[in-house]
Structure 1
Amino acid sequence: MVLTFLATFAVFLLVIFGMSLGWIIKRKSIQGSCGGISSIGMEKVCDCPEPCDARKKRMARDQHRII
């Protein structure tokens, strides 16, 4: 039981170290995919015809900052 736990823990540590090699070597953060959901024609994540109240407030605040 303990051997299985230690082996699993070691594998997880190796995976985390492997994933962090890009940052360790290049000091470059993880980036999203090229295009994201806009590449399939969607402007936002949800398919709601109208944004929720919290998003409307955030959009108004962002618009106010730009002007």
Structure 2
Amino acid sequence: MLTVFVASFVLFLLVVIGMSLGYLLRRKTLQGSCGGISALGMEKVCDCPEPCDARKKRLAKEALRREQLEKRRIL
């Protein structure tokens, strides 16, 4: 059991070191897969027809903040 854990840990460590070396040598950022969510036919992460309550509150808060900023600019 301990040998499996050590072997897994070493494998993950080698992968992390390899990714780090790749970044340091090429200065190229890590990228996701090709296509992403749009390849699944989804326009956004949450493909719900209507946003949830938490998102509605966040959107209202952002709209209020924008409105206050616009008022400050006018004055």
* TM-score, normalised by the number of residues in structure 1: 0.55
Aligned ranges for residues 7-46 of structure 1 at < 5 Å? 7-25=7-25, 26=27, 28=29, 30-31=30-31, 36-38=36-38, 42-46=42-46
Name 1:55's counterpart in structure 2: 55
Number of aligned residues: 66
Seen in structure 2, the aligned counterparts of structure 1 residues 36 and 49 have a Cα distance that, compared at 3 Å, is same
Higher relative contact order (CA 8 A, sep 6+): 1
Across the aligned residues of Structure 1 and Structure 2, the Cα RMSD in angstroms comes to 3.1
Structure 1 spans left out of the alignment, 5+ residues:
none
| Identity between Structure 1 and Structure 2 (%) | 62
What TM-score comes out, normalization by structure 2 length? Answer: 0.51
Q: 1:51 to 1:35 in 2, by over 3 A?
A: same
> Which of the two has higher C-alpha Rg?
2
Moved over 6 A (4+): none
